[in-house]
Structure 1
């Protein structure tokens, strides 16, 4: 993935090293794989709205600059995240204009260990997530290391830590960010609010089915982002799309449940199967058309 030397976003807050709630750092290496990956593409929207908005003021006061004594690896991660976020802004701004709307870009917060959010305290164990209450994406960038190691999502071995960001799994990481921004798009379009209301009146199984459709739509929107960004910048390299497909496979509900306990319970799925996640990402990538991402109107997922 070619990402260096392009525009970066001003909507990134870097709280690594200060300005946020700290709990001593939560290691993802000791977590159950199924739990980590269930949270991999964001906290459940219903839970997000129900969590306390305990620290919204703290969120706005956090440092927006690079942390003190920033390492080369941290700088690389910050520049990468800022570039991908800028790409999402450049994709969604004209699409919203075509829809007769204004795109309000989300903030993206990088943190370590734990941080205050509009949806309560965010922790490393949650993985990257979007909080609709403050319209912010939260990422502990150590999770990207987990993608390359514990979850085994793409990546060459025996590389320096600095070079991995550029050579191994970078597009899978961009896919994570684009998926979370997809939830922001759903919030701006009122989709998330409709799902939340519908889930309040639904059974647990029906609520899970709505969650699956919402997550698959975010996958499709991530594919759309990749398509349109590549048309503008030609940033994709050979193997990049395969990285995204590999990631989509390994965070499918069926894959995770089978890996964790040897069997699957479809009624408990909240994000979709591996095949579904791959299919909807590919649908967005193949079409580049937001109208092709209507998972709620689809008879078959």
Structure 2
């Protein structure tokens, strides 16, 4: 498997304190919404960053002891391949811009796990990125939910999830998340939500930029792209509210509508340019 994967599956819970402790970094998202809650010579410094989706606070007196599985499944190999491909793409892009990309680590876990600075991550919230330890956390059972509950099956739907979370890491490395969080301080709830949406849509766009590169290298087929678009649509705030039987209320959105998520992923895919991912200028 990739050297950027930390496998915590099979870990057992034991008594003790969670490493990293308490407070969340970024916007706290309701569980139903938090299920997405991460061109070569482009000026990466111009890219504005999305807010990071972090895990909920840790239960008291919880710690973990790893007992990783001995076998590597076909899904493990696919996740490893996609992770390396996405991070190698950002390695090249940063280098072309005269910058250094600090690679993220993908943590595979089951049910729940401790983070260093973002509390205790649980599978119920879906994949998330913790800016404090610069790690992406995924319980692979989420991909089953993506296919069955949200109607977005397929390998590239899974690749989209990984690319989206790594996009949050790219944004964190650039330091723009801190700038946006600063703007949220003292902002109204409506303004804070709008900033969160713009940040999330930018992560979708950056995912599309990677997909553009993958398509150009024949690592992606038109059918794969449809799977990615289906995943982007499935995790729109309106789609999630509808699937939960709740009224569709744009005032509560933090990630954007299905139409917006598809549109911005397409923007990244069609242009292959990170500078096209400025979701902060004008209307969405």
TM-score above 0.5, yes or no: yes
Does structure 1 residue 14 correspond to structure 2 residue 16?
Answer: no
TM-score, normalised relative to structure 1: 0.78
Report if the CA contact (8 A) 1:46-1:196 is conserved: no
Distance verdict in 2 for CA 1:138–1:47, change over 3 Å: closer
Mapping 1:247-286, distance limit 5 Å: 247-261=231-245, 263-286=247-270
Map of 1:109 onto structure 2: 107
Mapping 1:23-172, distance limit 5 Å: 38-42=33-37, 45=51, 48=54, 67-68=69-70, 70=71, 75-118=73-116, 119-154=118-153, 169-172=154-157
Does structure 1 residue 185 correspond to structure 2 residue 170?
Answer: yes
- Which is richer in helix? 1
- The CA distance in 2 between the partners of 1:19 and 1:173, in whole Å, is 26
Map of 1:160 onto structure 2: none
**Comparing both chains, which one has the higher relative contact order based on Cα–Cα distances under 8 Å and sequence gaps of 6 or more?**
2
Report if the CA contact (8 A) 1:21-1:116 is conserved: no
- The CA distance in 2 between the partners of 1:170 and 1:14, in whole Å, is 20
For structure 2, list consecutive stretches of 5 or more residues without a partner in the other structure.
Answer: 16-28, 39-49
SS of the aligned residue for 1:153 comes to: coil
Please report how far the alpha carbon of residue 9 of structure 1 lies from its aligned counterpart in structure 2 after TM superposition.
2.7
**Cα offsets for 1:182-224 (capped at 9, x unmatched):** 0001101111111111112211111100000000000000001
**Cα offsets for 1:156-177 (capped at 9, x unmatched):** xxxxxxxxxxxxx110000000
For structure 1, list consecutive stretches of 5 or more residues without a partner in the other structure.
Answer: 1-7, 23-33, 155-168
TM-score, normalised relative to structure 2: 0.82
- The CA distance in 1 between the partners of 2:83 and 2:89, in whole Å, is 10
Please report how far the alpha carbon of residue 274 of structure 1 lies from its aligned counterpart in structure 2 after TM superposition.
0.6
Report if the CA contact (8 A) 2:53-2:130 is conserved: no
SS of the aligned residue for 1:209 comes to: helix
SS of the aligned residue for 1:270 comes to: coil
Please report how far the alpha carbon of residue 108 of structure 1 lies from its aligned counterpart in structure 2 after TM superposition.
0.2
Count of residues paired in the alignment: 257
